[in-house]
Amino acid sequence: MAPPPLLLLKDIRLTFGGSPLLDGAEISVSAGERLGLVGRNGSGKSTLLKIAAGLVEADDGARFVQPGATIRYLPQEPDLSGFATTRAYVEAGLAPGDDEHRASYLLMALGLTGDEAPATLSGGEARRAALARTLAPEPDILLLDEPTNHLDLPAIEWLEAELKSSRSALVLISHDRRFLENLTRATLWLDRGRTRKLEKGFGAFEAWRDEQLAQEELERHKLDRQIEREKDWLRYGVTARRKRNMGRLRALDDLREKRRTQRKAQGSVQLTVTEGATSGALVVEAKRVSKAYDGRPIVADFSTRIARGDRIGLVGANGAGKTTLLNLLTGALAPDDGVIRVGANVEIATLDQKRASLDPSTTLRDALTHGRGDTVEVGGQTKHVVSYMKDFLFDPEQAGSPLSALSGGERGRLLLARALAQRSNLLVLDEPTNDLDLETLDLLQEMIGEYPGTVILVSHDRDFLDRTVDAVIASEGGGRWQEYAGGYADMIAQRGRGVDARGPAAATASEKPKPAASAAPPTARKKLSFKDQHALDTLPKRIEELEAEIARLAAKLADPQLYARDPKASAKTSDDLAKVETEKAAAEERWLELEMMREELAAG
């Protein structure tokens, strides 16, 4: 017999503004369970976690906690007010008998001294202090709402190792796929107010979810067909005309009511990018560039060439200088030494991680149109602003709402909408994954893969990097930056470790025998990156097109009169044929390489 759950939520119902947010949701958490709670932004995940923590009371349903079981909850926006230092804040979360030394260890491991004044903390530092407070008591159950928000890669990998070694049960909300895959052994899907559980980790969830939605669509189609049959019977059936079979009429009404009350899955964000003119082959060139602040080198003697179509990821700990390097490469910041050359016809669209471009008093309509009318130019077409809002899952009623009323996820979608509406051939994305749900991340990855221009992005999301970039520029410390081919997992394979931590987190790695994130073995790739899969799917068609072009050029050169008639045209055709044959050979070689990689991954 299975042991009784430590925490149980049964038939939880909660309504906000007349619409049910939770409509029969359930959670069961047993000792040592590793549960991922997933769902769209706005589906009620954070609210359900707060109900589980006892911070919000449901309209209906039951909450049961085993007597003596301890629960600790990490909110998305921790409140440190009322405490003189971060150490005081963390120690206030300890119960009698808890180890105070563990609180000190966690603070130092997370890059804090314990003496920081809460009023001076950044969002990332406040999140680290809240993590230390939550983890220090080693409770029976950890309820973590987006624990990786505002954390850099070293902190994320350290936290992952810490949670893996913890004996606490875990309920985790996160948009970080790699984090979810590595930590969960079961997945709870909150969709349209109800929960469905998969007894497997997040790695198996998305395929299962798609099967569930496909089955649901099939059932909806069957129901529509059944309603049509009953309507035909009602119109033409002899029995219906003569006797008005009331039982069958009631059944038809029931079907109609069932169809009306079905809540369809929420739509997807529609990402369309506005393309600028084609840039030159060279987009950015840096030659021995250096930049320092207050004598501390941020970038030292760095050189690179970024060509049209490249996808470059910048990675490093917080404070390593990723945004500084990004600004240098795009010409927004002048170097102290060296030369930055931005190529011809480069048009830049930027997504700002700090949301600095958003005036809280501006309305959503004006933020999208820049205060100029009711239309937006997107992808070469003019769209009404309300239609464009719907593409990013905003309701028409929100058009006149101030930006201060938007959630973090909504602000993230708004910034994406603004960036993608700009004409560009260089897309600069600084932490684009912040506050985006998994489905929107999927579409953003797809958009980046199909974007015809060049992409430079900063991200702490390992899975996102693996799916989108073909090269990584990593901080090596002391202002040194090194470029590696491939995604984040490829960088680890070449470098032998992940991104290095800065400050106390790096200095205290030896204080407790925990596995250091930077020394962790590389995560094995389970599948091709999005870019590689896209290339594998599209290269055969491209090879066929190149073969057809080779045949056309060869037939043209076969004309014995061509050279005599037009020597320049003959020479150009010959050159074109050589170029196309070279491109075809490269495409065939790349396809063969990817096919072998796919077979190895399938076998492994």
Report phi then psi at 21, rounded to 5: -85, -45
Eight-class DSSP state of 110: T
- Spatial neighbors of 451 by CB under 8 A, at least 6 apart, are 273, 427
Whether residue 68 is annotated as binding a ligand: the answer is: no
Beta sheet of 471-477, edge-to-edge order: 348-351, 426-430, 454-458, 311-315, 471-477, 480-485
Residue 35, H or E segment: strand 34-38
Whether residue 237 is annotated as binding a ligand: the answer is: no
- Distances from the Cα of 353 to the Cα of 435, 467, 519, angstroms: 11, 20, 29
Residue 415, H or E segment: helix 408-421
Structure token pair of residue 345: 């016809």
For residue 552, which amino acid is it?
Answer: R
Helices (DSSP H) in 136-269: which residue ranges?
A: 153-165, 177-183, 205-236, 238-243, 246-261
Q: Report CA 517 to chain centroid distance, whole Å.
A: 21
Whether residue 148 is annotated as binding a ligand: the answer is: no
Whether residue 124 is annotated as binding a ligand: the answer is: no
Report phi then psi at 352, rounded to 5: -90, 120
Query: Please, are residues 484 and 474 in contact by the beta-carbon 8 Å criterion?
Result: yes
What is the spatial distance between Cα 175 and Cα 169, in angstroms, rounded to a whole number?
A: 20
Torsion 479-483-488-491 (CA) sign: negative
Q: Map residue 341 onto helix, strand or coil.
A: strand
Whether residue 42 is annotated as binding a ligand: the answer is: yes
Report phi then psi at 73, rounded to 5: -120, 130
Q: Map residue 102 onto helix, strand or coil.
A: helix
- Spatial neighbors of 354 by CB under 8 A, at least 6 apart, are none
What is the spatial distance between Cα 431 and Cα 150, in angstroms, rounded to a whole number?
A: 10
Whether residue 317 is annotated as binding a ligand: the answer is: yes
Whether residue 39 is annotated as binding a ligand: the answer is: yes
Whether residue 311 is annotated as binding a ligand: the answer is: no
Whether residue 46 is annotated as binding a ligand: the answer is: yes
What is the spatial distance between Cα 516 and Cα 510, in angstroms, rounded to a whole number?
A: 8
| Binding-site residue positions | 39-46, 316-323
| Binding-site residue positions for ATP | 39-46, 316-323
